[in-house]
Structure 1
Amino acid sequence: MHHAGNPTGVVTVSAGVESLVPVQGSDGPLGLIGAADKALYTAKAHGRNRVCSARESLSN
């Protein structure tokens, strides 16, 4: 998809992902969202077209 506002001329995507197996006493949905959000900002910090998992962002 063409995007004149990007120096490469195309749309790029950065994504942060995480998964959760519900366990009693865990942070639940809020912890999941927080971890995915942190992973998104880790992906953005590493450049365009990146996907980072929360586990990757925690180790950096």
Structure 2
Amino acid sequence: MMEADTSLTIKGDGVALAPDTNSHGLIASQGDTSINIPLAPSQMLTVAAWLVDMAAENERTH
């Protein structure tokens, strides 16, 4: 089973997004507040597809 690299964090505008330690979801953080967002595998794939679509749209508009 592949484990998420929990050392990788996406940061922007005071918000951070990282995989949780068990690779079962995401952790969203802002300042001292963190929210664990559990995701089913199909939801993780949906989030990945959404991010790819957003990146492709940004490439088309910039």
Q: Which has the higher contact order (CA 8 A, sep 6+)?
A: 1
Same fold (TM over 0.5): no
Place the TM-score, normalised by the shorter chain, in its bin.
Answer: 0.3 to 0.5
TM-score by length of 2: 0.36
Greater C-alpha radius of gyration: 1
TM-score by length of 1: 0.37
Richer in helix (by share): 1
